Amino acid sequence: MNGKPPSPRTTLPEGLVSLADHEALARTSLSPEADAYFNGGAADEITLRENVAAWQRPRLHPRVLRPLAGGHTRVQLLGRTLAHPILIAPMAYQRLAHPHGEMATALAAAVLGTGFVLSTQASVPLEDVAHTVLGEAERGPLWFQLYLQPDRAFTRDLVHRAEAAGYEALVLTVDAPVNGARDRERRAGFVLPPGITAINLQGLRPPKPQTLRPGQSTLFDDLLTHAPTWDDVAWLRSVTRLPLLLKGITHPADARLAVQTGAQGLIVSNHGGRTLDTMPATAELLPAVVQALGGEVPVLVDGGIRRGTDVLKAMALGAAAVLVGRPVVHGLANAGATGVAHVIRLLRDELEIAMALCGCQTLAEAAMALGRPADRH
């Protein structure tokens, strides 16, 4: 990777008052290659843009003169009480944005009571992150995101490492058997720089390539012969004691299959617009998945969350919580843990403002903000 390395700033300049401000500033410190990696999407980036735009379309319907004293943002999720419904989504190679990488993000999350999901492709050891987070009394949940590897023994050992380190749930990403056609990354010539690797995957041996006959596809007749299936999800369920959430569920039929296979939660996600372009935005996909499950397991959502009003709308549409990705990387690039904490605090403050102005004392009343009966909880 060419270009100037990210600056190890730990303080923020004046005038950052929104997540958009953080994004604009981050573009001045990220290298062109890292900017393409974190901020780019698949193909023409239609889904990438729609993820943001779709949260802006629903209109809020405020109620006035309602009792608001004693209100709060607390929610229940997998047996825990969270201070607020904002979690940090799994994102790979965060040391591309700041030398402290995932350690800084995890620290900020823990201090602000925010759930943190560590990526399989993190650039720091999973044990180091857990050690940083688990001692914080007010922390949110600590989860580990997993890609199923063709080597089941390696996958099992990685899961047991996460269990031993103190992670409280597994988040299995199921929507990326292959990478999307990421034009922006390819134009930028993105490669990992020396010293940054998927350190938790060290020792994983790639599967032996297939011998292809003339006319066969490198993708379908080689790489995808190792793609996971529902049977692999059932196998994973059998080798871990941790709750399992499936990330990348967008179809109601898949949501029902996931629960039948043992998933204890789902994340409606289109991979941030990084895999299949022209998919619908997650704001549009969420309601059908929630309706299909009828509250049987919690349904979370990510993709395009940029304002506290977006969080309130997600909760109104039936989400149990939201996950935020790119804005966290922007904060990280801008000032390490301080920048991440500022992004989380901005989003939570905006959520509280939106709740108050819509007449919602708690998030149990979120549906009312979209003009619906507040009877979800």
**How is residue 272 annotated by DSSP?**
G
Q: What is the pLDDT of residues 219-237, one digit of tens each?
A: 787 676 778 899 999 999 9
Residue 377 has pLDDT above 70, yes or no: no
Q: Which sequence spans correspond to the domains of the chain?
A: 19-200+226-370
Radius of gyration over every alpha carbon of the chain, rounded to an integer in angstroms: 20
* Per-residue pLDDT at 320: 98
Residue 162 has pLDDT above 90, yes or no: yes
* Per-residue pLDDT at 96: 98
Comparing 208 with 301, the larger pLDDT belongs to 301
CA–CA distance, 265 with 259 (Å, rounded to integer): 8
* Per-residue pLDDT at 6: 44
Contact present, 33 and 2 (Cβ < 8 Å): yes
Q: How does DSSP assign 223-247, residue by residue?
A: GGGG---HHHHHHHHHT--S-EEEE
271 catalytic, yes or no? yes
Kindly state the average pLDDT of the residues 166-189: 94
Kindly state the average pLDDT of the residues 359-372: 97
Tell me whether strands 75-77 and 80-82 are parallel, antiparallel or unpaired: antiparallel
Which amino acid makes up residue 243?
Answer: P
* Per-residue pLDDT at 64: 97
Q: Which residues pair with 323 in a beta bridge?
A: 87, 302
pTM over 0.85: yes
Q: How many CB atoms lie within 10 A of CB 32?
A: 16
> Which of these CATH numbers, 3.30.565.10, 3.40.640.10, 3.20.20.70, 3.10.20.30, describes 19-200+226-370?
3.20.20.70
Q: What is the pLDDT of residues 183-198, one digit of tens each?
A: 999 999 999 999 999 9
CA–CA distance, 373 with 258 (Å, rounded to integer): 29
Considering 84, 98, 100, 271, which one is annotated as catalytic? 271
Residue 25 has pLDDT above 80, yes or no: yes
- Per-residue confidence band for 8, with pLDDT thresholds at 50, 70 and 90: low
